[in-house]
């Protein structure tokens, strides 16, 4: 048997990304010529197994994590926990930054509170003051920071979204147990930290930045430009916008550290301790449901426990002569949410109570406040009125030259292409929103790794560093990017609503897996294709359904649910393809005869147990349909 016909190993020759805590991976420079066109590799099967605390071997003493996503089948749930406990050392906001534009020196950093962020201050100041800021009275930007290389004590941060990776875990599947707050988190206390890290290192630090330009004839250029940013680990950073608006106005009047201290203390005094931590399945149900009282009992439990704790403290501290307050007066200050999808709290700033609503369940790769509907409409309108053919590429144009632009975008992200969103003469916040929406679109709340390669806003001065990142997605406003097709694989022009595949994109490589699949299925491929009619991928009917839902005003939640189903199906078919070609899949589902979640390694599942299902994987109505979909997906 020749080398091309044998079944390739699961490691194969696919590119693997090395562990890195720097802004650019150590292997990026050497692999930059081919890395950005390689498919985004799914984690190996061993990466889905938890290392045993009693052994250094992760293979001999570990179990598939996918079964640990459903511990309710095997163990009794423990006490309900808060997402943000009162005694947690974690801060809501870790840093507040202020930058301004100096006539002679350009962007400069004025203040960093409570301490300086180690790293390049000039780079941070440039990001906080985007291009063409002076022509707008106000602009919002978002960018990401992550821990730099070096000792843990240094806590250095640098701009980028290339986070630390372990092995070849580039995209992980939340359902498979790699979620940073999976269902077992609320049940198994000792596993919290490990799940939160998720093999990708610390969470990204998200930076929300507000820029204001005030006209002032007394200064040289006739205007004063200042920017204020907050750095937080919370992906729902948009809730802080009202506070930034007030604080930046105060800073113009009083540009001193005390102004920043007041904001810092107010933000970190926000109480989210009554927000319960939901399991993976509970979060999924809550996101898919419109019921405003879904899981209301969990909020009731949190309030009940708080009242019990306060009563215990009163009993231990107050003298017997003092009469404790009634339970009715105690419970009145803790109200149940009107809609369990959002937790209502407040931030006291300068004696003003500012209400905020925190999402009760935030899917992976969802950062900030964006609209999938807006992103889809931007590129669907021109395509519907005047379709233009794309240059053919096996990874991108899965339905031919007239593949829907949104499908081209998703294919580009899934196959780790370099994607640029260009918004010439548009606010930088608009391109940042498009980047964040694209990450959520391709993730579907299932796959991970997109935001760690995302640059919601960047500029021309950072192009050299950007090109070292494989498979990035970036937002820019400088039109010079459009004139350099060697910098990108897919250009998404927001003003025109058009996408363009680069003339310099590398051709899709022939992998061992695709070659093996072709050789094993040559007799059936032609018959399957001939028997099929219309779009083999099903993407065109899917996009028609999406557009009908948008026209019918089904809402953002319905559109996100449809995309989640689309990505889920894509992931399951990909897992079947891996099993067909490699004999194993990284998207592993535990079957009968494998290790039990509660038992020791070697213990077998009870096949008579009602929670035990025979077999695993995606199920097709017939072999013809299965073969047709596998024939379509192997090119991607």
Pair 455, 546 in one domain: no
List, for residues 134-155, the tens digit of each pLDDT value: 678 899 999 998 765 333 433 4
Do 484 and 600 fall into the same domain? no
For residues 623 and 529, state if they share a domain.
yes
> Does some domain include residue 228?
no
- What backbone torsions phi and psi does residue 301 show, to the nearest 5 degrees? -65, -40
Q: Are residues 382 and 481 both part of a single domain?
A: yes
The two beta strands, 342-349 and 138-147, are unpaired
Q: How large is the average pLDDT for residues 588-594?
A: 45
Give the span between the Cα atoms of 262 and 375, in whole angstroms: 37
Look at residues 447, 467, 501 and tell me which one is the last residue of a structural domain.
Answer: 501
Task: For residue 313, tell me if it sits in a domain.
Answer: no
Whether 593 is in a domain gets the answer yes
| pLDDT interval class at 454 (50, 70, 90) | very high
Of the given ranges (60-64, 96-100, 372-376, 426-430), which has the lowest mean pLDDT? 60-64
Residues 459 and 555 reside in one and the same domain: no
Q: Mark whether 416 and 469 lie in a shared domain.
A: yes
Whichever domain contains 384, its CATH number is 3.40.50
**Which range has the worst mean pLDDT, 245-259, 276-290, 389-403, 425-439?**
276-290
pTM reported for the whole predicted model:
0.77
Strand partners, 207: 143, 231
Question: Does residue 230 sit within a domain?
Answer: no
Residue 182 has pLDDT above 50, yes or no: no
> Each residue of 234-270: pLDDT tens digit?
999 999 999 999 999 999 999 999 999 999 999 999 9
pLDDT the model gives residue 451: 94
Q: Is residue 235 part of a domain?
A: no
Whether residue 38 contacts residue 14, with contact meaning beta carbons closer than 8 Å, is answered with: yes
Q: Is residue 459 part of a domain?
A: yes
Domain check: are 389 and 433 in the same one? yes
DSSP state of 82: B
Of the three residues 501, 521, 543, the one that is the final residue of a domain is 501
In a domain, 283, yes or no: no
- For the segment 341-348, the average pLDDT, to the nearest whole number, is 95
Instruction: Answer yes or no: do 475 and 556 share one domain.
Output: no
Cβ atoms within 10 A of the Cβ of 26, count? Answer: 13
Whether residue 382 sits in one domain with residue 496:
yes
Beta strands in 176-222 (DSSP E): 205-215
Q: Cα separation of 565 and 493, whole Å? A: 27
Q: Residues 474, 539: one domain?
A: no
Cβ atoms of 362 and 380 closer than 8 Å: no
Counted domains in the chain: 2
Q: Are residues 464 and 483 in the same domain?
A: yes
Q: Dihedral through CA 484, CA 485, CA 488, CA 494, nearest 10?
A: 80
Domain ranges, residue 431: 372-501
According to DSSP, the residues that pair with 138 across neighbouring strands are 212
Flag whether pLDDT at 229 surpasses 50. yes
211 domain-assigned: no
Q: What was the pLDDT predicted at 630?
A: 85
Tell me: the pLDDT tens digits for 611-625?
A: 555 556 778 888 888
483 and 582 assigned to the same domain? no
pLDDT digits (tens, 9 = 90+) for 195-222: 444 556 677 899 999 999 988 777 777 7
Q: Hey, what long-range contacts does 344-353 have (CB within 8 A, 24 or more apart)? A: 345/270, 345/271, 345/272, 346/270, 347/243, 347/266, 347/267, 347/269, 347/270, 348/266, 348/269, 349/243, 349/246, 349/247, 349/262, 349/263, 349/266, 350/246, 350/250, 350/262, 350/266, 352/246
Question: Which of 501, 535, 563 delimits the end of a domain?
Answer: 501
pLDDT at 614: 52
In the structure encoding, which two tokens stand for residue 222, read together? 């006739």
């Amino acid at each position: 048997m020749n080398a091309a016909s044998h079944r390739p190993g699961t490691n194969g020759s696919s590119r693997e990304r090395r562990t890195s805590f720097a802004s650019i991976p150590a292997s990026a420079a050497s692999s930059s010529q081919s890395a950005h066109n390689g498919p985004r590799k799914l984690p190996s099967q061993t990466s889905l197994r938890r290392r045993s605390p009693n052994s250094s071997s992760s293979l001999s003493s570990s179990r598939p994590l996918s079964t640990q996503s459903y511990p309710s089948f095997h163990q009794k749930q423990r006490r309900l926990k808060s997402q943000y406990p009162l005694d947690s050392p974690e801060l809501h906001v870790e840093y507040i930054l202020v930058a301004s534009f100096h006539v002679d020196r350009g962007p400069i950093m004025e203040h960093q509170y409570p301490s300086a962020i180690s790293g390049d201050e000039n780079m941070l100041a440039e990001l906080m003051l985007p291009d063409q800021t002076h022509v707008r009275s106000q602009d919002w930007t978002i960018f990401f920071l992550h821990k730099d290389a070096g000792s843990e004590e240094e806590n250095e941060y640098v701009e980028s979204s290339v986070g630390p990776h372990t092995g070849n875990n580039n995209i992980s599947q939340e359902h498979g147990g790699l979620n940073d707050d999976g269902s077992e988190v609320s049940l198994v206390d000792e596993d919290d930290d490990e799940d939160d890290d998720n093999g990708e290192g610390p969470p990204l630090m998200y930076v929300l930045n507000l820029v204001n330009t005030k006209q002032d004839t007394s200064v040289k250029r006739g205007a004063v430009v200042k920017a204020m940013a907050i750095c937080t680990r919370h992906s729902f950073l948009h809730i802080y916008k009202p506070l930034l608006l007030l604080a930046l106005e105060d800073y113009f009047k009083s540009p001193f550290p005390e102004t920043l201290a007041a904001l810092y203390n107010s933000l970190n005094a926000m109480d989210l301790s009554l927000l319960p931590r939901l399991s993976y399945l509970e979060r999924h149900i809550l996101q898919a449901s419109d019921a405003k009282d879904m899981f209301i009992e969990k909020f009731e439990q949190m309030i009940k426990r708080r009242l019990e704790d306060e009563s215990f403290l009163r009993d231990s501290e107050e003298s017997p002569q003092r009469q404790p307050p009634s339970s009715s007066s105690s419970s009145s200050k803790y109200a149940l949410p009107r809609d369990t999808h959002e937790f209502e709290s407040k931030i006291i700033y300068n004696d003003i109570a500012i209400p905020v609503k925190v999402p009760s369940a935030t899917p992976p790769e969802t950062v900030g406040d964006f609209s999938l509907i807006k992103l889809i409409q931007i590129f669907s309108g021109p395509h519907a009125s005047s379709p233009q053919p794309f240059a053919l590429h096996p990874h991108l144009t899965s339905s031919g030259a007239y593949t829907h632009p949104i499908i081209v975008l998703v294919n580009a992200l899934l196959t780790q292409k370099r994607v640029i969103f260009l918004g010439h003469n548009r606010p930088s916040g608009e391109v940042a929103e498009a980047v964040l929406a694209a990450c959520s679109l391709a993730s579907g709340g299932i796959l991970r790794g997109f935001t760690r390669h995302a640059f919601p806003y960047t500029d021309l001065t950072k192009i050299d560093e950007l090109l070292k990142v494989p498979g990035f997605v970036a937002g820019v406003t400088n039109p010079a990017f459009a004139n350099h097709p060697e910098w990108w694989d897919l250009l998404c022009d927001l003003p025109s609503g058009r996408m363009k595949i680069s003339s310099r994109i590398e051709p899709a490589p022939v992998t061992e897996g695709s070659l093996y699949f072709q050789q094993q299925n040559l007799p059936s491929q032609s018959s399957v294709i001939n028997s099929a009619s219309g779009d083999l991928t099903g993407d065109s009917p899917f996009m028609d359904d999406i557009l009908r839902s948008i026209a019918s005003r089904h809402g953002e939640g319905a559109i996100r649910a449809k995309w989640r189903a689309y990505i889920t199906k894509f992931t399951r078919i990909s897992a079947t393809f891996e099993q067909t070609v490699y004999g194993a899949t990284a998207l592993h589902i535990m079957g009968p005869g494998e290790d039990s979640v509660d038992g020791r390694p070697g213990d077998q599942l009870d096949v008579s147990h009602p929670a035990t299902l025979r077999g695993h994987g995606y199920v097709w109505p017939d072999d013809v349909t299965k073969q047709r979909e596998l024939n379509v997906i192997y090119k991607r």
